[in-house]
Amino acid sequence: MKNNLINKINKLKKNHNAVVLAHNYQIGEVQDIADYTGDSLGLSIEASKTTAKLIVFCGVNFMAETAAIISIDKKVVVPEINAGCPMADMITVTALKKLKDQNPKAKVVCYVNSGADIKAESDICCTSANAIRVVESLTNTEEIIFVPDKYLGSYVASKVKDKRIILWQGFCPTHAKILPEHIMTAKDKYPGAKVLVHPECRPETIALADYVLSTGGMLKLAKESGSKEFILATEIGILHSLKRQNPEKNFYPALASAICPNMKLTTLEKILWSLEDLITEVRVPPEIAAKARLAIEKMLAVGRQV
Ligand code: 13P
Ligand code: SF4
């Protein structure tokens, strides 16, 4: 049954000259059939350089929108149109414009976990893989409005001392659930393990990290590190790729219930249906896309920080 599904997906992919891109939090079987699985920055880079005509994007909507904005000549479809991100919905354009009016000298850095309309109102975009570097790249600016993630923003503020960072109060409900006591319990159980924390976590959770990394950074570190055991403070979907890529190492979730429900909506069946009917296309109004593209391209020029 599963093999049958995969065969059909592969056949349609070939017919449409399509590529399947998946985020590291997708369910295991989706990660396994994807042509590329990675973090938000890796997925944006991949979308910008693929020669395929069609991108089937398995993640959440802001990621697929970002791919559609930077891949002008390609069609982007999503297997699950309802895969939103609550953090991205925590800010509106009206609120951002007000903040800009109140802080006229500030430049706006928006986390990629935001709508296209927010990106269009921003000077530059960032992901968890390059937020510090992006903020540092704004050399002629002392004030930064950072939206929408207050935790990633405060982590950046703790590293970039020569700028005042004005935070928006958004957050990721999945990462906010991971508390210091979860890390402490895991450390008691696995005292030799390295603690890898995503910067969407609370500052008090980040304070217990050996490394603060994007999901792509976690995969890289796990591969390159001499350590054999790791505690992961992030969404548990990452464990699939970690275990597959490092069968001789052990990975423990800091909190096994750190699950992003939206990331789990995509299934192999839905990927097949989206390739069959091609109707769940991601479209961004051209005038918003043109402005948002500038912010994303500036981020891509900055690249990855680790
Ligand atoms: P990464 O870019 O680190 O994969 O994170 C994306 C995300 O949504 C984390 O919640
Ligand atoms: Fe949004 Fe959090 Fe899910 Fe990432 S894990 S997509 S930030 S809700």
Alpha-carbon distance of 301 to 306, in angstroms, equals 15
Q: Alpha-carbon dihedral of residues 261, 199, 119, 265, nearest 10 degrees?
A: -10
What's the whole-number mean pLDDT along residues 240-246?
A: 97
Distance 9 CA to ligand 1 centre (A): 26
Does the pLDDT value for residue 306 go beyond 90? no
Tell me: do 102 and 134 sit in the same domain: yes
Domain count, the chain: 3
Tell me: do 275 and 245 sit in the same domain: no
Q: Which of 25, 262, 264, 265 to mutate to test the pocket of ligand 2 (most atoms within 8 A of CB)?
A: 262
Q: What are phi and psi of 251, to 5 degrees?
A: -125, 130
* Ligand nearest to the CA of residue 218, numbered in listed order: 1
Q: Whole-model pTM?
A: 0.97
Its domain, for residue 130, covers 88-173+287-302
What's the whole-number mean pLDDT along residues 212-225?
A: 98
Res 284: pLDDT? 96
Res 305: pLDDT? 83
Does the pLDDT value for residue 1 go beyond 80? no
> From atom 3 of ligand 2, which residue's Cα is the shortest distance away?
260
Tell me: do 150 and 291 sit in the same domain: yes
Atom of ligand 1 nearest to the CA of 25: 4
Tell me: do 196 and 49 sit in the same domain: no
DSSP labels, 191-259:
TTPEEEE-TTS-HHHHTT-SEE--HHHHHHHHHH-S-SEEEEES-TTHHHHHHHH-TTSEEEES-TT--
Any atom of ligand 2 within 6 Å of the Cβ of 85: yes
> From atom 7 of ligand 2, which residue's Cα is the shortest distance away?
172
Any atom of ligand 2 within 6 Å of the Cβ of 40: no
Query: How is residue 270 written in tokens?
Result: 């839905």
Does the pLDDT value for residue 171 go beyond 80? yes
Does the pLDDT value for residue 150 go beyond 90? yes
CATH number of the CATH domain containing 198: 3.40.50.10800
Tell me: do 273 and 127 sit in the same domain: no
Contact between residue 111 and residue 117 where contact means Cβ atoms under 8 Å apart: no
Tell me: do 196 and 236 sit in the same domain: yes
Res 246: pLDDT? 98
Distance 239 CA to ligand 2 centre (A): 16
- Average pLDDT over the chain, rounded to an integer: 97
What's the whole-number mean pLDDT along residues 203-220?
A: 98
Tell me: do 191 and 222 sit in the same domain: yes
Tell me: do 95 and 115 sit in the same domain: yes
Tell me: do 37 and 71 sit in the same domain: yes
Atom of ligand 1 nearest to the CA of 42: 2
Provide, rounded to the nearest whole percent, the portion of the chain with pLDDT above 90.
98
Tell me: do 126 and 143 sit in the same domain: yes
Tell me: do 186 and 238 sit in the same domain: yes
Contact between residue 234 and residue 215 where contact means Cβ atoms under 8 Å apart: yes
Tell me: do 219 and 183 sit in the same domain: yes
Q: How confident is the model over 29-76, as pLDDT tens digits?
A: 999 999 999 999 999 999 999 999 999 999 999 999 999 999 988 999
Question: Which residues carry a binding-site annotation for [4Fe-4S] cluster?
Answer: 85, 172, 260
